[in-house]
Amino acid sequence: MSGHGTPIPMTSQKCGPLKGTANVPGDKSISHRALILGAMAVGETKITGLLEGQDVLDTGRAMQALGAEVVRHGAGEWSVHGVGVGGFREPEQVIDCGNSGTGVRLIMGAVATHGFATTFTGDASLNKRPMGRVTDPLALFGAQAVGRSGERLPLTLVGTDTPTPVEYATPVPSAQVKSAVLLAGINAPGKTVVVEKEATRDHTERMLRGFGAEVVVEEVAEGHKITLTGQPELTPQEVAVPRDPSSAAFPVCAALIVEGSEILVPGVSQNTTRNGLYTTLVEMGADITFENPREEGGEPVADLRVRHSQLKGIEVPPERAASMIDEYPILSVVAAFAEGKTVMTGVKELRVKECDRIDAMARGLEACGVTVDETEDSMTVHGCGPDGVAGGATCATFIDHRIAMSFLVCGMASQEPISVDDGSPIATSFPVFEKLMRGLGAQISSQGD
């Protein structure tokens, strides 16, 4: 079964101004999808800028186990020789998705409409996360799942080779659930329909179109309706993965709270299903200029010039949650350095991420001297002002990369250093985090440095 490596304690301390350019790695969501759709097309898909984080590498290995050929040619340069729609073969071994909820849920969708069984597992974090949200709609196609209690991994999904197309309204705002249904729908005859109340990240829809599938998106009374025509011929593509706005959030937020900082973060997505954090930061008073707007890898992007700013607490509207769901941990750090309170509502999905992110941030921030109120669905951070966060604590990261990076950023501007018990999960999404942040002037050290 998947393990989780030796913990790597890390420490971050107050530093001088952050300066320079932060070239963050490729988008994690888009990287997973490029490998999976590449594996479902006939012929060679070429990918540049692929995120070489552990989560994505695990998805690449899974595609190989299902019969595709996945080859690395150089840094971020990969090719996938796909097997065509309906062409996956039964894997010989258990598919281990490590820490990745996106990996496992999307792959479950992709295999659900193939007539064989696949067993999935992951690390201690992933094996606690709910899979019923994906296996329920996949059952409508005819796939059957048997997992541990609460539909948790390890889990075996027996796919069907006589799928019926499905019309499904997602009960939670989740791009993973939407994508799992669409990926299953690729190998189902007829039209598969997903309706979501609030629009979640739309990379699957965009990339499906790019590979030649027919995808129609409409605004209807119930929300956002996506219709996919099944069993298309997917044509291999050249996919240029844009940079990850969720990774960009860490240097951006660090520059906002470290006095005297000014940095440039090129190529940050302005896709409205991903950019809620940036809207929120501007409302808090952040000095961010959006330069050189353009398109990269099919996504609207801009270069962000970010300067240290005096920030004020705000109420983040709940309807914005889906567009910044991965950014609440780092936003709660920024909120700690603002004047006044920041209220985040409609965020209960944070409780089922790599860890319970509301709880993890509240406990860690409290240990650093910040007052946090939480309810099942909300988190309120009482700002301490630019110099008011005490720090001086060791925060638990619960095998969660974003919790680890958030507290390391917090330590860059707190009075006393902040340590994390385990920074090793950072490698799942942002393997060059420490190097990149040090290059800007951060003082981060890992055990063993």
* Site residues, ligand S3P (CB under 6 A): 29, 102, 174-176, 179, 201, 325-326, 349
Retrieve residue 370's tokens: 């910040």
Q: How far is the CB of 105 from ligand S3P (least distance, A)?
A: 7
Specify the pairing of strand 117-121 against strand 223-229.
unpaired
Q: How far is the CB of 258 from ligand S3P (least distance, A)?
A: 26
CA distances from 319 to 108, 276, 345, 437 (A): 28, 10, 9, 32
Q: How far is the CB of 31 from ligand S3P (least distance, A)?
A: 9
The active-site residue out of 202, 244, 326, 422 is 326
User: What whole-number distance in Å separates Cα of residue 253 and Cα of residue 306?
Assistant: 9
Residue 326 falls in the annotated catalytic set: yes
Question: Which residue lies nearer to ligand S3P by CB, 100 or 160?
Answer: 100
User: What whole-number distance in Å separates Cα of residue 65 and Cα of residue 205?
Assistant: 25
Question: Which residue lies nearer to ligand S3P by CB, 90 or 349?
Answer: 349
Question: Which residue lies nearer to ligand S3P by CB, 102 or 397?
Answer: 102
Question: Which residue lies nearer to ligand S3P by CB, 27 or 374?
Answer: 27
Q: In a 3-state reduction of DSSP, which class is residue 417?
A: coil
- Per DSSP, the residues of 11-47 read EEE--S--EEE----B-HHHHHHHHHHHHHSEEEEEE
Torsion sign, CA atoms 42, 46, 50, 52: positive
Q: How far is the CB of 90 from ligand S3P (least distance, A)?
A: 25
Question: Which residue lies nearer to ligand S3P by CB, 326 or 374?
Answer: 326
Amino acid at 136: D
Q: How far is the CB of 102 from ligand S3P (least distance, A)?
A: 4
Contact 246, 98 (CB under 8 A): no
User: What whole-number distance in Å separates Cα of residue 19 and Cα of residue 311?
Assistant: 20
Which positions ≥6 away from 254 have C-beta within 8 Å?
Answer: 18, 261, 409, 412, 413, 437, 440, 442
Q: Which residues does the annotation mark as catalytic?
A: 326
